[in-house]
Amino acid sequence: MPVALTLAEIASRLGGRVVGTPGALIRQVGSLEHAGPDQITFFSRLRHKNKLTATRAAAVILAEDAQDLTSIPRIVCENPYAYFARVSQLFNPVSAPEPGRHPAATVANGAEIAATARVDAGAVVEDGAYVGERAWVGAGCYLGPGCSIGDDSRLHPSVVVYGGCRIGARAIIHSGAVIGADGFGIAQDAGQWIKIPQIGGVVIGDDVEIGANSTIDRGAIDDTVLEEGVKLDNQVQIGHNVRVGAHTAIAGCAGIAGSANIGCHCTIGGAAVILGHLKLADRVNVSAGTLISRSILAPGTYTGVFPFDVNASWTRNAVWLRHLSELSDRVRGLERLLGRKGENG
């Protein structure tokens, strides 16, 4: 049954201060542009002020310093985006799945499925695999021998978990994700590649979300580790023996090469690349599209992106990159000629 709450009821559950009609009735969240008269929205970017003025929402969540930008009912709070997240969770609760195994699932006798868990059609669960309480294994998922899925975890359809991998509680894993495939462990020998058996596993903590078609390789010898609260977007690649520290978030298409050690509370932007065997301290932010080629020992934001330009300008300028060293030599030469000491001289 859909939820309906007044502003006052919302604030009594989640905090914040109501300005305007406390009895305004809310049934769902909405965007500034499209919210209807029984929906609550949020405002966090000043440049969307016009949208705030035009909104037809019943109420808005905003910060102290924005509270006078509108006269519609509102909840004033410190972190409007996080508050909005909690409000949306109120109106869109996740319910436990109907338990049971679909007759078109294939569950080995030696697998252990909790009584409250659900396994959908086409899923295959191998011997020794464990599925926790209220966990939901979607259609067509594969759980390899001896892997385990924690309580209240949800695997959307077509997730593959290789044998022996361990996933914590409350995981959300989206379709097409592959957990525990072999790492890229090959040794060069006389012009051919010899495969190094990948005998480590993958250990994933609680409250981890993994996006669609992301891949997390098993360790070569020891385990690949994602600590609690890690969030991965779609098409993220995690190499073997990587460790991702707690509460780090990695945006889409990023790649973390083998044995990289990422700290806690980091953010890695979309399509960023972290080379192998590097260490990133806690609270490092890597900008989208940046390749990290050395360890980063201090918190902060790091960037390395070629600024785009209209093609003709890019062509004219980029050619000089192949002559930068020479250009700087020429500047040094001029400085010497004039008896001047360059900053690097």
Q: Is 340 in the site for its own copies (CB under 8 A)?
A: yes
Tell which positions 180-199 bind its own copies, by CB under 8 A.
181-182, 184-189, 191-197, 199
Q: Is 323 in the site for its own copies (CB under 8 A)?
A: yes
Residue 343 DSSP code: T
* Smallest distance from its own copies to CB 307, Å: 5
Q: Is 50 in the site for its own copies (CB under 8 A)?
A: no
* Smallest distance from its own copies to CB 163, Å: 10
- Pull the structure tokens for residue 278: 């590097």
Contact 101, 107 (CB under 8 A): yes
Dist CA 129 CA 122 (whole Å)? 16
Q: Is 38 in the site for its own copies (CB under 8 A)?
A: no
**Side chain identity at 197, as an amino acid letter?**
P
Q: Is 2 in the site for its own copies (CB under 8 A)?
A: no
The torsion angles phi and psi of 334, rounded to 5 degrees, stand at -65, -40
Dist CA 293 CA 58 (whole Å)? 49
Contact 204, 187 (CB under 8 A): no
Dist CA 274 CA 81 (whole Å)? 29
Cβ proximity to its own copies: between 65 and 189 the closer is 189
Q: Is 30 in the site for its own copies (CB under 8 A)?
A: yes
- Pull the structure tokens for residue 139: 């259609």
- Single out the residue of 215, 224, 243, 281 in contact with its own copies (rule: CB under 8 A): 215
- Pull the structure tokens for residue 17: 């201060």
Residue 235 CA: distances (Å) to CA of 40, 214, 231, 250 = 32, 4, 12, 10
* Smallest distance from its own copies to CB 344, Å: 7
3-state secondary structure 132-189: CCCCEECCCCEECCCCEECCCCEECCCCEECCCCEECCCCEECCCCEEEECCCCEEEE
Tell which positions 220-249 bind its own copies, by CB under 8 A.
220-222, 229, 231, 233-235, 237, 239, 247, 249
48 flagged as catalytic:
no
Name the active-site residue from 102, 240, 265, 277. Answer: 240
* Smallest distance from its own copies to CB 118, Å: 13
The 57-76 site mask, x for binding its own copies (CB under 8 A), equals --------------------
Of 11-19, 61-69, 145-153, 302-310: span binding its own copies (CB under 8 A): 302-310
* Smallest distance from its own copies to CB 65, Å: 19
Q: Is 168 in the site for its own copies (CB under 8 A)?
A: no
Dist CA 278 CA 297 (whole Å)? 10
Cβ proximity to its own copies: between 99 and 122 the closer is 122
Contact 107, 144 (CB under 8 A): no
Number of amino acids touching its own copies (CB under 8 A): 131
Dist CA 195 CA 143 (whole Å)? 24
> How far does CA 204 lie from the centroid of its chain?
14
Tell which positions 115-154 bind its own copies, by CB under 8 A.
120-122, 124, 138-140, 142, 144
**Side chain identity at 334, as an amino acid letter?**
L
* Smallest distance from its own copies to CB 182, Å: 6
Tell which positions 77-96 bind its own copies, by CB under 8 A.
79, 81-82, 84-86, 88-89, 91-92, 94
Cβ proximity to its own copies: between 53 and 317 the closer is 317
Q: Is 252 in the site for its own copies (CB under 8 A)?
A: yes
* Smallest distance from its own copies to CB 147, Å: 12
**Side chain identity at 224, as an amino acid letter?**
T
Positions marked catalytic: 240
